[in-house]
Amino acid sequence: MTDTTAGAPPREGLFARLMAGTTGPVIVVCLAIIALWYVGAFFLNAPFAREMLARADEAYTFSDLLQRTMNEERPVLPSPHQVAREIYETTILKKPTSNRSLIFHSWVTLSSTLLGFVMGTVLGIILAVAIVHSRTLSRSLMPWVIASQTIPILAIAPMIIVVLASIGLTGLFPKSIISTYLSFFPVTVGMVKGLRAPDPIHLDLMRTYSASQAQVFWKLRWPSSMPYLFASMKVAIAIALVGAIVGELPTGAVAGLGARLLTGSYYGQTVQIWSALIAAAVIAATLVTIVGIANRAVLARMGQSE
């Protein structure tokens, strides 16, 4: 904000400054979502609440109804404060090592997400390098890469888990394989584009030096693909998390956010489901932000800003 607001009352100045950055708009959007959520919770829980109140055979007021919709034990849509309380109880009040702790379950999912993401990124880059450097591979490999993503992950996940379990691999690794399966794809597609991004004139320059293919790769193709790599890693890390959660579903896993969702739905614990979903969303947002920060740091080192 410029000097024009200097004469305005300080509160207005603060608000204007808040709205000028990203903080203000983000807060406004969050408040709007929470408000909508409350409205939704009321309308979705109201039929059941009305029925219950009617059964009690007493006259009830609107505020009785409102009260009830906000505090159902097994609501269709739990209200935000119920989810907040659940999250508070399962993070702050429980030891992180307890299997009732959301932090414990989040860590289980996060570790397989990160392992899967790293493996997926490495695999994605290797495939992209192969595709860019070989005409044959670019024709033969790319259709398979695309076909791999047309198979519903829910269908293939149990098979991966079962096959790997039969050769003695259980626990973290099979789950992260599913994350890998999902996350290599955006990295491959992004890096094929990124490694082919250099201007023809930049490639000609390398030719005039009669540079080797390895030199062209490390001094030209790799650095010019950085923006593409980070853009695809942002997508990859988010779907790696999805992969890890999906990988927990078919195994009857006892730990992880996926297991939390599964037990929640067995017992109709919608509050638990929603708090696990919120935890997943927070983890995803944090991971994407970290990739974004790494992106900015790398580009700043390369003398570029986004």
The site for another protein (CB under 8 A) is made up of 199, 201-202, 204-211, 215, 219-220, 223-224, 226, 302-304
Distance CA 259, CA 154 (A): 15
The minimum distance between CB 189 and another protein, in angstroms, equals: 22
Cβ(237)–Cβ(113) under 8 Å? yes
Cβ(109)–Cβ(256) under 8 Å? yes
Instruction: Give whichever of 94 and 193 is closer to another protein, judged by the CB atom.
Output: 193
Instruction: Give whichever of 76 and 205 is closer to another protein, judged by the CB atom.
Output: 205
Q: Tokens at residue 52, please?
A: 């219950």
Q: 262-285 burial, b if ≥16 CB within 10 A, otherwise e?
A: bbbeeeebbbbbbbbbbbbeebbe
The minimum distance between CB 133 and another protein, in angstroms, equals: 18
Handedness of CA 102, 103, 104, 107 (dihedral sign): positive
Q: Which residue has the tokens 């708009």?
A: 25
The minimum distance between CB 224 and another protein, in angstroms, equals: 8
Instruction: Give whichever of 206 and 237 is closer to another protein, judged by the CB atom.
Output: 206
The minimum distance between CB 212 and another protein, in angstroms, equals: 8
Candidates 103, 102, 192, 97; CA nearest to 143 is: 192
Instruction: Give whichever of 88 and 209 is closer to another protein, judged by the CB atom.
Output: 209
Residue 196 CA: distances (Å) to CA of 79, 156, 246: 49, 32, 34
Instruction: Give whichever of 224 and 263 is closer to another protein, judged by the CB atom.
Output: 224
The minimum distance between CB 151 and another protein, in angstroms, equals: 38
The minimum distance between CB 208 and another protein, in angstroms, equals: 4
Instruction: Give whichever of 218 and 267 is closer to another protein, judged by the CB atom.
Output: 218
Q: Coil, strand, or helix at residue 92?
A: coil
